C-alpha cells in the first residue's frame, strides 16, 4: 500500500482528500501546519507528498526547499489557488516540486496526477546509468550531477528531461513528446513549462546559457541534445 503525506491547512478539504485517497487504497498521514508537516516528511517513509503552497508557520515553498536541502527526494505535488501561470513560475524556481494542481480540482484529476508521479518515481532499469559530456557528469541512478566536479542541484524531473534528450542524442524531441514522457500526460502543464525547464537546465549545465551548445532549440519543433 502506497503511503501519502498530505500537508494542508484547510481541515475540511484535508478530510475530503483523505477520504477519497483512502477509498483508492492509499495510506494517508497528514498535517495542517507547515512545521509539523515538515517534521512528518523527515520522520515518515512515504511514497508521495501532497503539499499546499500556503501554510501556517512554514510555507509549501519553504518545505520543498528544506526537504531538498536535507536530501529528502520524495515526489511532491503542490496544491494552490493561484493561477497556473504563477505556479509555472514557482516550479521554475527549482523548488523541487514534481507537479501541481490548481484548486478546485476533481478526484479523477488528482488520482491521474498521483499515478503519473508515482510511475515516474519508480526505480527502473535505466537505459543509461551514467553519462558525461564536456565538464558535466551525470549519474541517473543515484541522481547525482556534477559540473567541473562541483555538485549541481537538479530536480528529479530535470534528470528525467536530460535523460530523455540524451537517449535521443542528435534527434529532435518535440515539446509534446517531452510532456508525455517526462510529465506523464500531455494536457498539463503547457509547453511553456517545458521551455522554462530547458532554460533552467541551460543555466546549470551550459558554460554560456545564452549560447547553448548541448541543449539546442529547434524552432517550431522542439529540442535536441548534442554532446
Give 28-72 as a 3 state SS string: EEEECCHHHHHHHHHHCCCCEEEEECCCCCCCHHHHHHHHHHCCC
Q: Which stretch, 41-45, 102-106, 109-113, 198-202, has highest mean pLDDT?
A: 198-202
Cell of 84: 497556473
Tell me how crowded residue 31 is: count the other CB atoms within 10 A of its CB. 19
pLDDT at 7 over 60: yes
Percent of the chain at pLDDT exceeding 90: 50
Q: Are 157 and 182 within 8 A, CB to CB?
A: yes
For 193-215, the pLDDT digits (tens) are 889 999 999 999 999 999 999 99
Select the more confidently predicted residue: 188 or 121. Answer: 121
Question: What is the architecture of the domain spanning 3-121?
Answer: 3-Layer(aba) Sandwich (3.40)
Q: Is pTM beyond 0.75 here? A: no
Average the pLDDT over each of 19-28, 96-105, 148-157, 207-216 and give the range with the smallest value: 96-105
pLDDT at 94: 55
Query: So where are the chain's domains?
Result: 3-121, 130-225
Strand ordering across the sheet containing 130-133: 130-133, 136-139, 144-147, 150-151
Q: Are 96 and 76 within 8 A, CB to CB?
A: yes
pLDDT at 217 over 70: yes
For 27-50, the pLDDT digits (tens) are 999 999 999 999 999 999 899 999
In CATH, what class is 130-225?
mainly alpha
Place of cell 509549501: 60
DSSP 101-126: EESS--HHHHHHHHHHHHHHHS----
pLDDT at 4: 96
Q: How confident is the prediction for the chain on average, in pLDDT?
A: 86
For 116-147, the pLDDT digits (tens) are 888 877 655 446 889 999 999 999 989 999 99
Q: Which residues contact residue 34 at a Cβ distance below 8 angstroms, ignoring those fewer than 6 apart?
A: 7, 9, 55, 56, 57, 58, 59, 60, 62, 63
Q: Residues 169-175: what's their mean pLDDT?
A: 89
Q: Do the first three CATH levels of 3-121 and 130-225 match, i.e. the same topology?
A: no
Alpha carbon distance 11, 123 (integer Å)? 34
Amino acid at each position: 500500500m502506497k503511503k501519502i503525506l498530505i500537508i494542508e491547512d484547510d481541515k475540511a478539504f484535508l478530510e475530503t482528500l483523505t477520504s477519497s485517497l483512502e477509498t483508492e487504497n492509499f495510506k494517508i498521514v497528514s498535517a495542517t501546519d507547515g512545521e509539523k508537516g515538515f517534521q512528518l516528511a523527515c520522520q515518515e517513509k512515504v511514497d508521495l507528498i501532497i503539499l499546499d503552497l500556503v501554510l501556517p508557520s512554514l510555507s509549501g515553498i519553504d518545505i520543498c526547499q528544506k526537504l531538498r536541502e536535507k536530501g529528502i527526494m520524495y515526489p511532491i505535488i503542490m496544491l494552490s489557488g493561484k493561477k497556473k501561470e504563477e505556479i509555472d513560475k514557482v516550479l521554475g524556481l527549482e523548488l523541487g516540486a514534481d507537479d501541481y494542481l490548481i484548486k478546485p480540482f476533481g478526484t479523477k484529476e488528482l488520482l491521474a496526477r498521483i499515478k503519473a508521479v508515482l510511475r515516474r518515481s519508480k526505480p527502473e532499469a535505466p537505459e543509461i546509468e551514467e553519462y558525461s559530456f564536456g565538464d558535466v557528469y551525470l549519474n541517473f541512478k543515484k541522481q547525482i550531477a556534477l559540473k567541473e566536479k562541483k555538485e549541481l542541484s537538479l530536480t528529479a524531473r530535470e534528470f528525467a528531461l536530460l535523460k530523455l534528450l540524451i537517449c535521443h542524442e542528435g534527434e529532435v524531441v518535440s515539446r509534446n513528446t517531452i510532456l508525455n514522457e517526462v510529465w506523464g500526460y500531455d494536457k498539463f502543464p503547457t509547453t511553456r513549462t517545458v521551455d522554462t525547464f530547458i532554460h533552467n537546465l541551460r543555466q546549470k549545465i551550459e558554460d554560456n546559457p545564452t549560447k547553448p551548445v548541448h541543449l539546442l532549440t529547434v524552432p517550431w519543433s522542439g529540442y535536441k541534445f548534442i554532446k
